Structure formats: structure tokens, C-alpha cells
Structure 1
Amino acid sequence: MRDIPLNPRLLQGLTLVSLKLSPAVIAAFGVLLITSIALFTAPYLGMADNGDFFRNIYSNGIYFNLPDYDSKYFGYFVKQYGIYQYFNENGATLDSSQSLFIKLALGINKLLFSSEVFDIRIQAAIYTLLYVIAIYLLIEVITWKMTRKQGLITAAMAIVIFGDTGYTAYFNSFYSESVVMIMMIFVFAAWLSLYRRRYNDYAMLALLVVSSLFLTTSKQQNAPVGMILAVLALTLLWIRRDSIFRILTVISVGLMMFAGIATYLNISKEFVNINQYHAMTRGVLKEASNPESALNTFGINEQYAILKGNIYYEQYGTVDVDSDILDENFYSRYGFGSILKYYLTHPDQLGSILNVAAKSAFSIKPAAMGNYEEAAGKEFRAQSHFFATYSLVKEKLAPKTFGFIVLWMIVICSLYTPSFVRAIKARDYRGMQRMVLILAVMGMGLSGILVSIIGAGDADISKHEFLFTQSFDLVTFLAASSVIKRRWSRRREPAVPKQNNFPAEAQKGVSI
């Protein structure tokens, strides 16, 4: 009898195979496979332009090169655009972290594809890579210390939710929702890792800060996000005793708050007017039974009641929305604060507008925009149902009332309150972080709703509430994974096999 040593490469290969079968890898690979089929194989899926793309592409050196591009608005996805060859006189109409990703994609496009034509699938590839990494990190943190069965069920659930093309179709577009989606998952995963001590605290704090900054500055509507994260991230100060971590946490909180304030202050006058106009015409006036009386509350002439339900972009509108008359007699009479005060003193209208918001709060992709290229031969505004079961079922079955949102928040909070109370009694600040994270994400989601309805009425509300629908999915996914873990809590098989998963005798060799 003698021992024959096993080849170290064989052991390494077996270890890699076991790692590849981990729930996090399965979830990440599943999302990658589905997204690749949807975005990079014909018929290509994307999102049609609703008229917003020009704000993000002109200043980044890209332009519409199709002579009939106007006919594609809302109906058809376009995958190729022109690249400016000479001086670009277009300044930025808005400052957004999204520009960094567009510029990166443009640079890679020039290097690998063309210096004259930009293919948006280059950008989609960058987003997909980041998204898959974010999904891996999220599932790795959530399934850590789960049993094998629990981990696989959680991974399958993640593929169904986060692999849904309602989410990933945004990658083939110039909408900032792509950045929001990716950075929200990074924020969630990093903070959850700090709670579970899964990875290095310093690395996760850095990831939390960077992703928070990208998230907050991705679109001007997200200004409150940085402030919410900053306030609640203060609790991270006490999860470690070393002064360096606390100093870095204070700096991080300061950066988040600064990003939120700067994003708010940087909103251009054009966007202020657009949103302010819709806040009154598509919000206060639309929901008021007596528009004239509502206008009197703000000290506005009753004749402006004729604007009820109007849209800023109407080609033949009732008034010149950029006129000095409107500036003096309309826009100057109200703002976010006065509209909020109005709704609080008119609870019936507040309830009505909140229910209007709730009707669109569970839609991942707006129904107004098509997903196909015109060459695919689909109808104008046709939407894809490829791997979109979750988004379709969610939109169909979710109750369309704000009361359901409140009930959902109560149920989720009650699920985690006992452990949160125990952590408070034990002064376990790290143990408090799961509930703090949930409150932060709920707060960000609610800010998406409130900023939308108070700041712009129901105009383009489905797209404006993207932040809430993703917050809902992340928190619900976490809660569902907690239920799964409790359901099979007696099983001891690890979700992620350890690297040395072989008996000592087997590692020495095999007896023959």
C-alpha cells in the first residue's frame, strides 16, 4: 500500500469548480447570460428616446446621425449614433456622473470600433460588466453562511428579479437609470457587507462612498439621496473603535452630504421651469376640484386655471412657457416648499396624488417607450416580453394604492425590529446596520415618489419613480432571503463550499 499524491493543479481545479457553483457565481452568470442574449443578439433590445437623450449625448461628443431620427421618438430603439469630428460647441445641459460612462464607452468605441460611428452596445457592455459584479457582491453577502439549498434558491430568485429585461434594457439607452440601478446595488451590497463583516470594512466603506456619489450625481432628482445616505451613515461611526475608520467615515458622510447639496444647487433654470410648470399643471391643478381656488392659495391669477393638465413640451401650447410674463406672474409665486405646504393642508388632494404615484410605482420600464429597432419589424412602441416575467407580474399584481406601500414598509420593518432592538440594547452598532440600511433604502425610494409628485406632478411619473421600484425590489429581496434562511435554518450544508473541502487523507493521496 502506498500513497499517490494528488496533482496540485487537480486540487486547484476541483476547488475552482466548487467556487464556480457558488450561489453568487450562479446568480451573476445567469444575469450575464440573459442580459447578453437580450442586448447583444438580434433582435437587440434597448429603450427608445423620449426626447431626453440630447441632454446627455451632445456635450459628450455624440449626435443623432439618422436623417429621420425624429420619427423614432418613443417608438424605436436606435443603436448607432454619429461622433463629432470637429469642435463641439455644445455645452452640458446637465451635470451628471453618467457622462463619465458615456465618455469611457466613446473612448473604447473609437479604439475598437469606429471614430465616426458610436455603437451604444459598447456602453451596454460596460454597464453589464458592472451590473454583474454588483449582483455577485450582493448575492455573496446575502448568501454568506446560508445552507447550499438556501443559497441556490436565493440565487434563482436573484436571476428572476435582477435579470429581468425591464431593468437591463436601460443599458442600451442614454437614460441615467442605468447608473442608478448599478450604484443602488453597490450601495446596498457594501452596506450589508459592513453589517455582516463579510469583507474588509475599509474597502466596503470606500465602495459605499464612491457608489453613493455616483448615485446621487447621476440625475438631479437624486439630490435627496445623498442627504439621506449621509444622515443614516453616521451610525457607521461606531461599528469600529479605531480612530482612522471613524475619521474616514466622517469624511465619507461629508462627501455624501456635499454631493446631495451640490446636485440640488446645480439644477439649471430650464429644469426648474419644466418641473415647476408640471408641478402646478400636472399636480396641484390636475387634482384640484376647483383650480381657481387652488391658484388663489398661491396668489396666482385665476386665469391660469386654463393650464390645468398642460405639458411643458406641447408644440402648440396655451402659453409661452418661457415668457417673462410667466416668470413674473406664475413661476415666482410658488416652489417646492409652498406646494408641499399646500398638499399638507389639503390631505384629500395629497392622498389622490399619492395614489396616482402608486399606480406607476411598481413599473420597472415605462409603457411609453418601445424596446426594438425599427429593422426588427415590430410595431411602433412594441415592448419585449423576453425574460420579463417578474416586471410584468409585479406591475399586474401589485396593489395600486399608496396604502399598500405604507403596509409594505410596516411589514418589512416589523420583520427586522426584534433584532434591531436587541442590537440597541446590546449597543451593537454593527448589528443595527441592517435596519439602518433598510430605512435608508426606503427613504431613498420614498424620496423618488415625493420629489416626483411635488416637484413635477404626474409628468413622466413612471420613469421618475424608478428609484422607488428598485428600492422596493432590493428590500423585498432581502426580506425574502431572510425568510428562506429561517425556513431551512436547520440545514448545515454551506452555500459556498470552502476551498479545502477534502478530507486530510485525500489531500495527502489515495491509498491503493
Structure 2
Amino acid sequence: MTTLKRRVARAIRVFEKIMPPPLLAVLICALLAGYLTFVPPINGLADNGDYYRAMYSNGIYKLLGTHYNYFGYVTQKFGLMKYYNEYRSVNFSSQPLFVKLAIWLNKLFYSKSIFDIRFMGLVNYGFYLGSIYMITDAFTYPAKRLRNYVIAGLVVFIFGDSSFTLYFNSFFAEPQMLSMTLYSFAAILLLARQRYRHRWPLIILYAISTMLLISSKSQNAPLALSYVVVTLGLLFLPNFKAQRLYIFVGMGLLLVTGGLTYKLIGSSFTDINQYQAFSHGVLTQTGDPSKDLKKGGIDEQYALMKDQDYYAKQFATIQPSQSYVKKNLLPNYNFAWIVKYYATHLKQFGRLMDLTAADVMITQVKAVGDYTKASGQPAGKQVTFFTGWSQLAGAFFPQKFAFDCLLAVAIAMVYAVGCYNDLRNHESEGVLRFFLVLGLLTMFIFVPIISIVGDGDADLAKHIFMVPVSIDLIFILFVSDILNHRLWHAYHEEDQTS
């Protein structure tokens, strides 16, 4: 029996050496995401009308002579412009960097005239796998025990979920947002845990990934404030006083990035958001909005636009893009008008926030299909392969915004204890971790509010994408801290048990 135990122990040590938790997590995620992204018939997300923002300005267009599918089916092949491109980007965004990389790879390995969406998937896939390795390493370092395979499994179960990886074969910015969030989170956590002797590579990684995240789409502009909170933790790094000026410069760059992302929003994009903030926000979760519209100086007839999308799937009461709406509706209200409206209609706003809370963990986009037409599946069919976490969290996560607020306070208090203990002991891990968690909690609470005020309940799964990502990261961090006995203080080897 003793010999058998020694052999088992030796086998475990060999396995841990050749297959550490980060590598195991990457390999499993590579298989899961690769199956969806590259194996025919491929899976992804159909166009909901937003693809043009990333397509035309980068020289990609719908193939002539083919039936282009909106909402129902994933489109695999697109055309590549050969000559002058008259289209300009509708807003300031980092997304074209990733799209242009996909086009370059497509031209290098496939075609100079036809674009295969799988090359967009390949770019997203590559950045994603790197982020999975880093985030798993951050959660498990430095302990070398079997419990860290549980943490790696949790990373796979949550961030390997198909509701996240389906975005890869699409022109949405969410896959880049996911990877950049994981990179920035991992960089801070690895700094807190002193993973490497040199800090600057991780600080640079944090700065670049965060700026790419903030500028990936206009709705992310407010995230600059959340990441300023996260960055404050870097001021507590030991032996770092002489470099603190650079941290303040970095905070300024984050704010400038957020400001440019917001300031340079195209007028057409503003019209869409402004319209849907009205039709999917002001007009919803209320009995008769017409009287309130009249008080606000808006014609009562526009109450008929309740729940109407800017890009209507079928019949529209009036086309939002027509000049009549632009001249007679949109100029009569703005962001300040909507804020004032909700301030005087708190019950309606509360119902909208509860609606958002109900959708917080439903990360799979329900408005579009996940299959190509060649797959033989019906239009709008949703993938169910490896969606256990999104289904479980979507079904059981409490559907009240008040609960979300209380949860955020409770989590902040838990990590504040670790911050206080480490400050007393002149250690930095708990301090950086506290500011990291606090920054993500601000996203958890304020992103839903900004989404409702800025765009109503339209495309909630996309607009509040950062909310489930943030709370998922905090959840895994909490579990890993408990398993490795570091919740209340920095990691101490003597606290570990076999």
C-alpha cells in the first residue's frame, strides 16, 4: 500500500510538472472554442444590423449576388474591397486593429478578394487563449497543489462557456473586450502576487489592454473611471515611490482614452442610441407614457414607438432613420432629458433596473442565430453546446437590482478586511486586490444604469457584457482565495495545507 501511494504521488508530481493548471485550462478552452469557431458547419453570431460599423470602414462588404442574412443565420463569406474605400469609421474605436489583422491573415493565407469570418475568429481565438493562460496563472500562483486544478476547471467552465466564444466569428467588439479584461485583471493580480521580478512588462500589459478595452466601443467610455480606481492600487506597490508619477500619467491616459471614445462618437451612432433609449427605455415598464411625453414637450404620438428597434425586424410604425424622426423627435430630448425623466419616475426606473438585473448573467445573445444556413438548422437557432455556466447563472442568479447592490457592498467589505490586514503588515497583495475588486464592482453596478439611460433595454446581453465578466472574475477570485487561504491577507506558505 505504501509503494502504491508513492507511485500515485510520483505520477501526480509528473502530471503537475508537464501539465500545470494554466496549460491544462488553455488546452481545454482551445478544444472547446476551436470546435465552435473552425469546425464546419461553423458557429458564431448573425448580424443584428451593427456589423457595418466594423465592416465597411475596414474594406469588407456583403458579397454581391448573394442573399445576406440578418438575425437568422451566420454569414461566413464577405467581399474585400480592392480599390478606394469611401467609408469612414462611425466612431473612435480600437476594434479596427483586430479587424485589420484578420484581413491581413486572410489575404496572406486565403484570398485577397473574399473574406472568411473564420479569420476574425482566429484573431479573437489567439488573444483569448493567451488571456486564459494568464488569468489561470494569476489565480493559482504560487501554490502548487491539486486544488489549483479545481480553480483551472472553474476558469474553463465559466470563460470557456460558448456564450462567450460564439462572439469569435462575428464583427462584434465583445471578444476583444473579454480578452483585454482578462489580460488587465491578470496583470494586476500577478503584480499583487509578485509573480515576476520585473514589474514593467505587466504594468505595460495592463495599460495597453485597458486602453484597448475602453476604446473598443463607445459604451465603454465610462469604464475609464472604473479602471482609475483599479490603477490606484498600483500606488501601494513596495519600492515603487519613485515611479508613482508614471502611475498618475497612466490614469490621465485612461481618462483621455475614455474621453476620446465618448467625444468622437459618430452622429449616426448617437441617433441609434438616442432613439432606443427612448423606445426601449422611456416608453417601457409603464402603463400610458403619452401623458408623460406631453409634459416633457414631446408629441404623444411617439408613444406608438414602444419597444421598436432602430433596425426593425418586421413592420415599423415609422422608420427611425427617416428625416421626420430626426427633425421632430430626436431634437426634443437628450441625455439630460432622460436623466430628469427617470429622476421623476423612480418606480419605472426601478422596474427597468430589475429587468436589467434579470438579464445580467444571460450572456448568450438571443436576438440572433448561431448557425450558418448550410448547417440545415432553422433560422435563429441557438447553440446549446457547453453553455452550462450561462444557463445555470442565468436561471439562479437573483433578479433584483437591490440584491446586486447589496452583493457589491458585501464583497467590498470582505476584501476591505484583507486590505486593512495587509496595510498593517506592510504587504501589498491585499491592497491591490481590494482596488481591483472595487473597480470591477463599480462596473457591476453602474454599467446597467448607463446602459438603460443610454440605450434602454435593447440588446442588453451585449450592452451589459462587462457586468457578467466582472462578477465572474470576482467569483473565481473569491473561490481561489478561499482554497489557497489568502482571503483575509497576503499569501503565506505556512498557512497552506496539503
Q: Check whether TM > 0.5.
A: yes
Residues 194, 345 of structure 1: CA spacing in aligned structure 2 closer, same or farther, 3 A cutoff? farther
Q: TM-score, normalised by structure 1?
A: 0.87
Partner of 2:310: 312
Q: Judging changes above 3 Å, is the alpha-carbon distance between structure 1 residues 74 and 327 closer, same or farther for their aligned structure 2 residues?
A: closer
TM-fit CA distance, 1:192: 1.2
Partner deviation per Cα, 1:80-110 (whole Å, 9 max, x = no partner): 2111122222222233211111101111111
Matches within 5 A, 1:6-405: 18-65=16-63, 67-70=65-68, 72-199=69-196, 200-314=198-312, 317-319=316-318, 321-322=320-321, 326-327=325-326, 329-405=328-404
Is the partner of 2:445 in helix, strand or coil? helix
Deviates more, 1:41-50 or 1:428-437: 428-437
Mapping 1:454-493, distance limit 5 Å? 454-486=453-485, 492=497
CA contact (8 A) 1:39 1:45 kept: yes
Q: 1:282-318, CA deviations, whole angstroms, 9 ceiling, x for partnerless residues?
A: 1112223341332245333434333333332337544
Query: Bigger CA drift: 423-432 or 383-392?
Result: 423-432
How much has 1:160 moved relative to structure 2?
1.1
Q: Which amino acid aligns with 1:300?
A: I
Letter in 2 for 1:382: K
**Separation in 1 of the partners of 2:202 and 2:34?**
28
* Deviates most, 101-110 or 42-51: 42-51
SS of the residue 1:99 aligns to: helix
Given that 1:97 and 1:214 are in contact with CA atoms closer than 8 Å, whether structure 2 keeps it comes out as: yes
CA contact under 8 A between 2:359 and 2:460: conserved in structure 1?
yes
The 1:360–1:91 alpha-carbon spacing in structure 2 relative to 1, beyond 3 Å, is same
Could you tell me how far apart the structure 2 residues matched to 1:373 and 1:408 are?
40
What is the CA-CA distance between 1:414 and the residue it aligns to? Answer: 3.5
Letter in 2 for 1:265: K
AA aligned to 1:367 is: K
CA shift digits 1:252-309 (9 cap, x unpaired): 1111110001101011111222111121221112223341332245333434333333
Q: For 2:53 and 2:221, how far apart are their aligned partners in 1?
A: 18
Distance 1:203 1:16 in 2: 31
**Alpha-carbon separation, structure 2, partners of 1:378 and 1:365:** 18
Q: Distance in 2 between matches of 1:451 and 1:106?
A: 33
- Deviation of the 1:19 alpha carbon: 4.0
State the 1:361 CA deviation: 1.3
Q: Is the 8 A contact 1:273 1:331 kept in 2?
A: yes
Shift of 1:427: 6.4
CA deviations 1:313-339 (Å, max 9, x no partner) are 337544453566645653333322332
Unaligned runs of 5+ in 2: 1-11, 487-492
Deviation at 1:163, TM superposition (A): 1.2
Shift of 1:55: 1.3
**Farther off after superposition, 395-404 or 254-263:** 395-404
Distance 1:326 1:422 in 2: 58
User: Judging changes above 3 Å, is the alpha-carbon distance between structure 1 residues 45 and 415 closer, same or farther for their aligned structure 2 residues?
Assistant: same
* Structure 1 counterpart of 2:420: 421
Letter in 1 for 2:344: T
Secondary structure at 2:115 match in 1:
strand
Once residues 421 and 242 of structure 1 are traced to their aligned partners in structure 2, the CA distance between those partners, rounded to angstroms, is: 20
- Aligned partner letter, 1:284: V
What is the alpha-carbon distance in structure 2 between the residues aligned to residue 361 and residue 404 of structure 1? 12
Q: Distance in 2 between matches of 1:251 and 1:198?
A: 24
Task: Give, in whole Å, the separation in 1 of the partners of 2:321 and 2:28.
Answer: 49
AA matched with 1:38? L
Greater shift, 135-144 or 123-132, is seen at 123-132
Q: Number of matched residues? A: 479
Distance 2:328 2:83 in 1: 43
Distance in 2 (CA, whole Å) between partners of 1:263 and 1:471 is 21
Describe the shift of the 1:175–1:294 C-alpha distance in structure 2 as closer, same or farther (beyond 3 A): same
Q: Which amino acid aligns with 2:38?
A: F
Residue deviations 1:396-448, cap 9 Å, x none? 22222223322432342243232122235556555311111111112123333
Distance 2:120 2:322 in 1: 38
Partner SS for 1:118: strand
Relative distance call for 1:305 and 1:119 in structure 2 (3 A) is: closer
Alpha-carbon spacing, 1:104–1:221, altered in 2? closer, same or farther (3 Å):
same
Which structure would you say has the larger RCO, counting Cα contacts within 8 Å and 6 or more residues apart?
Answer: 1
For the 8 Å contact 2:73–2:380, the answer to whether it is kept is yes
2:226 and 2:439 in contact (8 A); partners too: yes
Return the offset for 1:149. Answer: 1.6
Quote the offset at 1:189 in angstroms: 0.6
Instruction: Indicate the larger mover: 208-217 or 435-444.
Output: 435-444
Alpha-carbon spacing, 1:37–1:262, altered in 2? closer, same or farther (3 Å) = same
Query: Where does the alignment leave 5 or more consecutive residues of structure 1 unmatched?
Result: 1-13, 494-512
Query: Contact 1:147/1:491 (CA < 8 Å) preserved in 2?
Result: no
Residues 24-78 of structure 1, C-alpha deviation per residue, up to 9 Å, x if partnerless?
11111111121112211123111111111111011111111163433x2111112
Distance 1:337 1:430 in 2: 41
Corresponding letter in the other structure for 2:264: N
In 2, Cα distance between the equivalents of 1:378 and 1:322?
32
Compute the displacement of 1:17 (Å). 7.0
Over 3 Å counting, the alpha-carbon distance change for 1:291 and 1:179 in structure 2 is same
SS of the residue corresponding to residue 78 of structure 2 reads strand
TM-score in terms of structure 2 length: 0.89
Please say if residues 310 and 321 of structure 2, whose CA atoms lie closer than 8 Å, have aligned partners that are also in contact.
Answer: no
Report the counterpart of residue 501 of structure 1 in structure 2. Answer: none
1:118: Cα distance to partner? 1.2
Match of 1:503 in 2: none
